[in-house]
Amino acid sequence: MANDEYLLRMVDVEKTFPGVRALKGVNLNVKRGEVHALCGENGAGKSTLMKCLIGIQPVTSGEIIFDGKSISHYNTADALNMGISMIHQELSPVEYRPIMENIWLGREPVGKFGLVDHKKMYEDSKEVLKQIDLDIDPKTLMVNLTVAQMQMVEIAKAVSYNAKLIIMDEPSSSLTEREEQQLFTIIRRLKAEGRSIIYISHRLEEIFEVADTVTVFRDGTNVGTAAVKDITTEQLIAMMVGRPMDDMFPKIDTDKEGIVLKVEHLSHHKYFKNVSFEVRKGEILGFAGLVGAGRTEVMETIFGIRPHTEGQIYLHGKPVEIHNPGEAINMGISFLTEDRRGTGIFPLLSIDTNIAIPNYDKYLTKLGLVDQKAVDEACAKYVEAIEIKTPSLKQKIMNLSGGNQQKVLLARWLMTEPDVLILDEPTRGIDVGAKAEIYQLMSELASQGKCIIMVSSELPEVIGMSDRIVVMHEGKITGILENGPDITQEVLMRYATGTDDDF
Amino acid sequence: MKAKEILSKYGIVLVLVIMVALLCIVSPNFRKPANLMNVLLQACIFGILALGMTLVIIGKGTDLAVGSTLALCAVICASFGQKATASGKIFPNMPELPIIVPILIALIVGVAVGLVNGAFIAFTGIPAFIATLGMQTIARGFALLYSGGKPVSSLIPAFKTIGSGRVFGFLPVPVLIYIICIAVTWVLLNNTRFGKRVYAIGGNMQAAEVSGINVKKMILLINAYMGLLAGVAAVVFVGRTQSAHPGAATGYELTAIASTTIGGTSQSGGIGTVWGAVVGALIFSVLRNGMTILGIDAYWQQIVEGFVVIIGVVIDMRKNARKA
């Protein structure tokens, strides 16, 4: 069957994790010598599918046929030997070792006495690097390479394994435009050699430039495959977002009076440029955009986590300088970060400590000691009000579900009594029920006169909850839109991909 | 289930009780009240260090310099507490000072060393392990330099009171000082904002920063407190030995870390208790005293102590792993 038109066929692949069906019967067919793009929202199942393909995780059911053979029960090393390589989005080279040792890591050529044959390793590396036109001495340390060059080395490694299929996960996300063109040149060359490429990307222009076929993922399944030359940008966007809106979003009409936070020409040397917007009392301002558009970085800057190079922040009309989160909190700004585990919870500590940590100043006895009784009472009030499901305040937060952890963090920030509440991906990784409760809470807070900034990559959420929507693309604001019936996911996607730009 | 929970939380207390009970049964000498008080007395110095170490380790740090910090505090402290008639005085013309002066000086020196440790860690970003490893040699060097390598002795009588005096006729002064340190550290860790923040930065440093905690300042304060306790321990040490040798207290940092660890404080930060540090220090003291009374070779004692630390931590880690 080696003359099969398809190098890879994945048939009805399902993958379930405890409580989640991540892949619901995916079919993917990749021809020999084609560049096959995968696109879709975060969490649509692309990464899970690739993890199954390269042997990090076994599939729950379904069949994978590679190069005419049905394959199952293999690990990543087996996958490499069969000819499946993956260039991960986050590269993890052994930084202080030379290129050649990175390429042959784990299978170093050895000489007579079982010692590493450095000469052969060097010559072989040169040969592989030549194949992809990379002119660097194989003895160069990885740490001295640019990200693009490291990526090239990864590709060289794939070539050295004689890979028939190379998976690239958002390879262009940290490349400059010139480097991107180099990457495309190499991709075309690999293709000409008869290798197949699976190219995962959010950027539509790229897909149109380099891919032959595109498959769109949504909610754990493939919703459509098309030859790139046969479809338009509009059709592709429609395929990506074509999901009916649920009525999960309980919007309450609020009076929006008085600008609370105003940002003018805020710039960062790396992440964003010339960002200006304002939020009014009682307003929910959505921030849409693709991953890496710089939305989180803008919020981190407002909150004093990152310094800005230019621009001015105004609170209640007065210019302010915020140097660290402590100052931001004192000025009435709160920030629910997107990375709940990394920058949110204190996993080992109890719920009350997790809620009270920025708030202890309010609950002190005359001696300056913490008034634990007052803290517990205050925390209990929030636990009840926002329905955090826990047997006790003393429970360690790591024992709660994701949704309840998120609610604890919300309680933490509400207790600081902020005027401006910044929520970064507030519903990421939590179940539908908890999502609906958080939306409800957001609406109530807005109706109480708080202003809320919500950064979200989920378009239905942005459209469902926001009064106005700021869309960013590659560090710049491309649109500030009044929400209404004419604001559809397609419209936002055009701004998010930079197809439309009002500025 | 409930009993199991209590056992996993307070199991280390049970170990201590069993150890003491066994020794009391097998050795008439061990169970003499005078000896039992001696066990407490022997625990005081590294016990006080272990209290500070608990804070440091909960806050994701470590302090390998406390032993030599103690020695530096001790020689400086003693030099301000020498008799007028002492020969070879560091300050030949200095009159006898009231005891409060050398005590305060010991505490100030301790805090200063702690602040330097903290500053290196907070402002250069080097690991606490490295900063304090360097300070271990630096402080020792200063102690030798200051004292000319010789013990500082011939001290005013007040030091004798600190070392071997008793309050209410039975409680040795060092034990009283230890108890005061336990109480202060307890309140500090459990009832102040400072304490809550120590747990927070140890549990998730980035989240602590986002929560508005000044992490650098916290690292300075935590190390300063460790230094303060090293100063207190130095005063007790000088009182006990009636002199201060610049080479003293070598390896005390390891005993302090070991006591803390046996008491359930996690090396990965965020977990630990004051009572754990106390029980850990007592276990070491009982172990040493008991083995000596049973006539076990001093070299064997060291080997046993080493194994106790390793086994203790293995048990502790398994306990935590099962929960997760």
ipTM: 0.81
Residue B206 distance to chain A (closest CA, Å):
5
Whether the predicted pLDDT of B221 surpasses 50: yes
Q: What is the pLDDT of residue A242?
A: 65
pLDDT at B11 over 90: no
Q: Do B209 and A329 touch (CB under 8 A)?
A: no
Cβ distance of A343 and B196 shorter than 8 Å: no
pTM for the full predicted model: 0.77
Q: Which of A173-182, A284-293, A368-377 has the lowest mean pLDDT?
A: A173-182
How much is the pLDDT for A204? 81
Of A303, A345, A369, which has the smallest distance from its Cβ to B207's Cβ? A345
A244-332+418-503 and A6-241 share a CATH fold:
yes
Q: How far is B115 from chain A (nearest CA, A)?
A: 23
- Cα–Cα distance list, A255 to A282, A367, A450, B14 (Å): 6, 43, 11, 63
Nearest-Cα distance to chain A for B99, in Å, is 30
For a pLDDT cut of 90, what percent of chain B falls above it? 78
Residue with tokens 């169970």: B31
Cβ separation A358–B213 shorter than 8 A: yes
Looking at the domain that runs over A244-332+418-503, which CATH code has it been given? 3.40.50.300
* Binding-site residues on chain A for chain B (CB distance < 8 A): 303, 305, 324-326, 328-330, 335, 337, 342-349, 353, 356-358, 360-361, 364, 368-370, 372, 398, 412
User: What are the backbone dihedrals phi and psi of residue A333, each rounded to the nearest 5 degrees, phi first?
Assistant: -115, 135
Q: What is the nearest CA distance from B188 to chain A, expressed in angstroms?
A: 9
Question: Is the pLDDT higher at B283 or at A175?
Answer: B283
Q: For residue A360, give the nearest of B187, B193, B270 by CB distance.
A: B193
Tracing tokens 């700004």 back to the chain, one arrives at A333
- Provide CB contacts within 8 A for A400, sequence distance 6+: A351, A388, A389, A390, A408
Q: Say which of A325, A342, A348 has its CB closest to residue B211.
A: A325
User: What's the pLDDT score for residue A244?
Assistant: 45
Checking A244-248 for CB contacts under 8 A at 24+ apart, the result is A245/A460, A245/A463, A245/A464, A246/A460, A248/A432, A248/A435, A248/A436, A248/A439, A248/A464
Binned at pLDDT 50, 70 and 90, residue A28 comes out as very high
Mean predicted confidence (pLDDT) in B5-12: 77
Which element (helix H / strand E) includes A71?
strand A69-71
Residue B28 lies in a domain: no
**List of chain B residues whose C-beta atoms are within 8 Å of the C-beta of residue A330:** 212
In CATH, which superfamily holds the domain spanning A6-241? P-loop containing nucleotide triphosphate hydrolases (3.40.50.300)
Distances (CA, A) of A449 to A23, A465, A470: 41, 15, 20
Share of chain A above pLDDT 90, in %: 56
- Are B195 and B63 in contact by the 8 Å Cβ rule? The answer is no
Size of interface A-B (CB pairs under 8 A): 78
Tell me the HSE value of A162 on the side-chain side, using a 13 A CA sphere: 3
> What integer is the mean pLDDT of B4-12?
77
Please choose, from the candidates A25, A35, A34, A61, the residue with its C-alpha nearest in 3D space to the C-alpha of residue A217. A25
* Segment A208-254, tens digit of pLDDT: 999 999 999 887 889 889 999 999 887 887 787 665 445 568 777 78
Q: Is the pLDDT of residue A42 over 80?
A: no
User: Closest residue of B to A330, CA-based?
Assistant: B212
CB contact under 8 A, A353 and B270: no
Q: For residue A210, with 0-12 CB atoms within 10 Å meaning exposed, 13-18 middle and 19 or more buried, which class applies? A: buried
For strands A468-473 and A284-289, give the pairing: parallel
Cβ of B196 within 8 Å of Cβ of A356? The answer is yes
Q: Where are chain A's structural domains?
A: 6-241, 244-332+418-503, 343-417
Chain B residues in contact with A412 (beta carbon < 8 A): 211
Contacts of A305 in chain B (CB under 8 A): 209-210
What pLDDT shows up at residue A245?
Answer: 42
pLDDT for the residue numbered A339: 87
Q: Is A325 in contact with B191 (Cβ distance < 8 A)?
A: no
The CA distance from A384 to A122, in Å, is 66
**3 state DSSP class of B115:** helix
Considering A54-68, A304-318, B44-58, the range whose residues carry the highest mean pLDDT is: B44-58
Is the model's pLDDT at A65 over the cut of 90? yes
Rounded CA separation B180/B297 (Å): 34
**In Å, how far from its chain's centre is CA B6?**
27
Question: Number of C-alpha atoms within 13 angstroms, CB side, residue B88?
Answer: 8
Cβ atoms of residues B81 and B158 within 8 Å: yes
Q: Which pair of structure tokens corresponds to residue B161?
A: 């009171």
User: What beta strand segments (E) does B127-270 contain?
Assistant: 166-167, 171-172
Disruptive mutation site among A299, A306, A329, A349 for chain B (greatest number of B CBs within 10 Å): A349
DSSP helix, strand, coil percent of chain B (3-state; round to 5): 75, 0, 25
Residue contact A357–B196, C-beta within 8 A: yes
Residue B202: closest CA among chain A residues belongs to which residue? A346
Residues shown for chain B: 324
Look over chain A and give the mean of its residue pLDDT values, rounded to a whole number.
89
Please indicate whether, in this complex, the C-beta atoms of B211 and A305 are within 8 angstroms of each other. Answer: no
pLDDT digits (tens, 9 = 90+) for A451-477: 999 999 888 889 999 999 999 999 999
Gyration radius from chain A CA atoms: 25
pLDDT-derived band at B144 (thresholds 50, 70, 90) equals: very high
What pLDDT sits at residue A432? 66
DSSP H or E segment with residue A206: helix A204-210
pLDDT confidence of residue B323: 44
The number of beta carbons lying within 10 Å of the beta carbon of residue A248 is 15
Averaged pLDDT for residues B106-133 = 96
| Tens-place pLDDT, residues B290-302 | 999 999 999 999 9
Residue whose C-alpha is closest to residue B46's, from B253, B193, B184: B253
- pLDDT value of position A44: 77
DSSP string covering A33-102, please?
T-EEEEEE-TTSSHHHHHHHHTTSS--SEEEEEETTEEE-S--HHHHHHHTEEEE-SS----TTSBHHHH
Per the model's pLDDT, the better-predicted residue between A119 and A428 turns out to be A119
For residue B201, tell me if it sits in a domain. Answer: yes
**CA pair distance A403, A410, nearest whole angstrom:** 11
With b meaning 16 or more CB within 10 Å and e meaning fewer, what string describes A463-493?
A: bbbbbbbbbbbbbbbbbbbebeeebebebbb
CA distance A24 to chain B (A): 30
CB contact under 8 A, A343 and B199: no
CA-nearest of A34, A5, A2, A64 to A165 is: A34
Which of A330, A347, A358 shows the shortest C-beta gap to B211? A358
Query: How far does A360 lie from chain B, in Å, by closest CA?
Result: 6
Pick from A303, A370, A376, A408 the residue to mutate for testing the B interface (most B CBs within 10 Å). Answer: A370
Cβ contact, residue pair B197, A357, below 8 Å = yes
Question: Is residue B26 one of the residues assigned to a domain?
Answer: no
How far is it, in rounded angstroms, from Cα B125 to Cα B256? 24
Could you give the CA distance from residue B83 to residue B97 in angstroms, rounded to a whole number? 9
The residues of B whose Cβ lies within 8 A of any Cβ of A are 187, 191-193, 195-197, 199-200, 203-204, 206-214, 270-271, 324
Nearest to B204 among A335, A347, A358 (CB): A347
pLDDT above 70: percentage of residues in chain A: 96
pLDDT, average across residues A279-287: 94
> What separation in angstroms does the CA of A436 have from each of A415, A441, B265?
21, 9, 40
Residue B284 structure tokens: 């070491």
Of the candidates B216, B252, B297, which has an alpha carbon nearest to the alpha carbon of residue B48?
B252
All residues of chain A having their beta carbon less than 8 Å from the beta carbon of residue B199 are 346, 348-349, 353
Q: Is B134 among the domain residues?
A: yes
Report residue B39 as tokens: 């066990």
Residues recorded for chain A: 503
What is the pLDDT at residue B321? Answer: 54
Name the β-bridge partners of A141.
A98
The pLDDT score that the predictor gives to residue B292 is 93
pLDDT digit string, tens, across residues A151-171: 889 999 998 999 999 999 888
With left for phi above 0 and alpha for psi between -120 and 50, is residue B211 left, alpha or beta? alpha
HSE-up of residue A151 (Cα within 13 Å, Cβ side) = 25
> Distance between CA A242 and CA A489 in Å, rounded?
8
**A contacts of B207 (beta carbons < 8 Å):** 342-346
Which of B196, B271, B324 lies nearest to residue A353, judging by beta carbons?
Answer: B196
Instruction: With a cut of 70, say whether residue B320 has pLDDT above it.
Output: no
For residue B256, being part of any structural domain is answered with: yes
Count of the separate structural domains present in chain B: 1
Is residue B295 situated within a structural domain? yes
How far CA B110 is from CA of A500, B76, B105, B160, in Å, comes to 64, 10, 8, 22
- Say which DSSP state B90 is in: S
Q: Which residue of chain A is at minimal alpha-carbon distance from B320? A: A348
Residue A16 and residue A14: Cα distance in Å, rounded? 7
b/e code B173-207 from CB counts within 10 Å (16+ = b) = bbbbbbeebbebbbebbebbbbbbbbbbbbbbbeb
Domain that includes residue B279, residue range: 47-323
Q: Mark yes or no for CB contact B210/A348 under 8 Å.
A: no
Q: Which of B186, B196, B217, B323 to mutate to test the interface with A (most CBs of A within 10 A)?
A: B196
Residue A2 φ/ψ, nearest 5 degrees: -65, -15
Q: Which of B203, B206, B324 sits opposite A342 (nearest CB)?
A: B206
How confident is the model at residue B322, as a pLDDT? 45
Structural contact between residues A234 and A490, judged by C-beta atoms closer than 8 angstroms: yes
Residue type, A300: E
Q: What is the distance between the alpha carbons of residues A108 and A103, in angstroms, rounded to a whole number?
A: 9
Q: Considering only CB atoms, which chain B residues are within 8 Å of A326?
A: 212-214
- Residue of B187, B207, B213 with shortest CB distance to A369: B187
CA distance B107 to B232: 6
Query: Is pLDDT above 50 for B324?
Result: no
Local confidence band at A389 (pLDDT 50, 70, 90 cut-offs) = confident
